[in-house]
Amino acid sequence: MNYCSDSEMRGVSLLRNPWFNKCSTFSEEERDRYGLRGLLPPRVSSVQEQISRLEEVIASQPTALGKYLILDGIHSSDEIAFFRLVIKNIEEYMPLIYTPTVGEACQKFSHIFRYARGLYVSINDRGRVRELIKNVPTHNVEMIVVTDGQRILGLGDLGINGMGIPIGKLALYTACAGINPQHVLPVTLDVGTNNENYLNDPLYLGLQQKRVDGEEYYALVQEFIEATRERWPNVVIQFEDFQNTHAFELLERWQDKIPCFNDDIQGTASVSVTGLYSAMRVKGEKLSEQRVLFLGAGSAATGIAHLIADAMAEEGLPREEALKRIALVDSKGMVSSRRSDTLAANKLPFAHDLPLAGNLLEAVKVFKPTAIIGVSAQPKTFTKEVIEEMSALNERPIIFALSNPTSKAECTAAEAYQWSEGRAIFASGSPFAPVSCGGKTFVPRQGNNSYVFPGIGLGCVIAQPTMIPTGVFLTAAKRLAELVSQSDLDNGSMYPPLSQVRELSAEIAAAVAAYLYNKGLAQAERPTDILAAVKATMWSPEDPHFVCGE
């Protein structure tokens, strides 16, 4: 494989470049050709030997964070080996490179920082963001994940430490959907932090000042978007872990102008609706017949709620009626038009004329839902009393505890099954082990966004849309639900095995691309066979097609 011309990179420079370094697997001919003779141990390793060696090192680490750090080091020194490892061990390593381990890694980011990756744009860079964009060595960026670090998972304002999220997310775009790792860019916008711990931490790597907000904030975001679009006109931008007000405002400002989406709002909605579609197959009912109660009323909750209303409307229920079948519980109780406090704009469509209920249990008794969905980041809030009440109301209560990391889960899988006497239809945002209850073993699966966002991103890369409408996320949800097998449902799994994620992503990408072509939103030429074109596009570490200096 002639992947690097003689004139471009040789010797130590090649070994220090993670895109091209093959470490001990460089062949005898490559060692002579690229000036590597003597710079590596003399024996050439096979790929399998290299992977086995790395797996052994990872397994030797006693903590999840220790394993994360080893994987991060491999990612920063040998991308081919990193993605071989992750793709081979996707179910085992995904929780290490993303949720839940990435939460701890972000909290400690400034203290464990070793390798620079991605782009950092601070509020002090206003007026010269284009200069920063020019410093990025990648000539063809297809996918950007950008955060401002203000609402990282359920952990709050982590400032620049939130960079672990875009890095991890883009690793999943490659591992799960085959987006070329040379064509992605993680970005953090540093506008300060209101986290006192970081403001007083001498090792914190970000600006040690209070957050900038208002039009100065939005002007920086605008400058960043315009600069990236100038250099990479077809780039897809994913907003990640922005505080609710900014998340909705940025979507409102940009979703009709450029190909962008917010995974916390729209990706979470898509994978959650997938779980509900699967639950309908178990119950033999229609989604439009359900009553859904959310614990949490932020961007994730209202994003899911709106997509549920869209799905109900697609089944023939008027959308206004669909909205009435959805209710929210926030920190003050059930969202109701009878409340005296001022409600945030995103809550208003769900502020129905409902009796006041001060907590979740009261809300369940009043609203009588068929499903409860937790996106509150408040652990242990799906109590025994709540699940028993849901079980009294429903033969098959739907219990989705979607908050992550695991420490923030509203309940565990074991609690959901045991307190419902094995009748719960359960999904979670964090991984849980199989549960034995009533003589049956349930295999709960994580309703993780990684089922859908890689395929959505790949479909957009293929089609090059002018914008990404809401229908994309409902399309992805329906296609993924169709791919859940009956045996999965019989085992209590609302999602397919993550080991199939590359195949699932290809199917979702093809469905998304077809939707965009059919709606006249795609700029790329339509392939004769979209699924075949998607599969041909997907990058694999076994066939990297890297060219030095690309």
Residues 6+ apart with CB under 8 A from 514: 530
Preceding omega of 444 cis (within 30 degrees of 0): no
DSSP state of 211: P
Distance CA 474, CA 364 (A): 27
Residue 352: strand pairing partners: 336
Q: Can you give the C-alpha Rg of the chain in angstroms? A: 24
Kind plus residue range of the DSSP H or E element containing 28: helix 28-33
Please say whether the beta carbons of 259 and 466 come within 8 A: yes
Residues 6+ apart with CB under 8 A from 226: none
Distance CA 259, CA 288 (A): 30
Distance CA 234, CA 243 (A): 26
Helix, strand, or coil (residue 236): strand
Active-site choice (22, 169, 347, 408)? 169
Positive or negative: CA dihedral 124, 129, 133, 134: negative
> Exposure pattern of 336-369 as b/e (b: 16+ CB <10 Å)?
beebeeebeebbebbbbebeebeebbbbbebbeb
Question: Which amino acid, one-letter code, is at 65?
Answer: L
How are beta strands 326-330 and 292-295 bridged, if at all? parallel
Secondary structure of 294-344 as H, E, C letters: EECCCHHHHHHHHHHHHHHHHCCCCHHHHHHCEEEEECCEECECCCCCCCC
347 counts as catalytic: no
169 counts as catalytic: yes
Active-site choice (98, 198, 204, 517)? 98
E strand map for 346-423? 371-374, 398-401
Residue 140: strand pairing partners: none
Residue 318: strand pairing partners: none
Helices (H) and strands (E) counted in the chain, each on its own, are 24, 13
Which residues does the annotation mark as catalytic? 98, 169
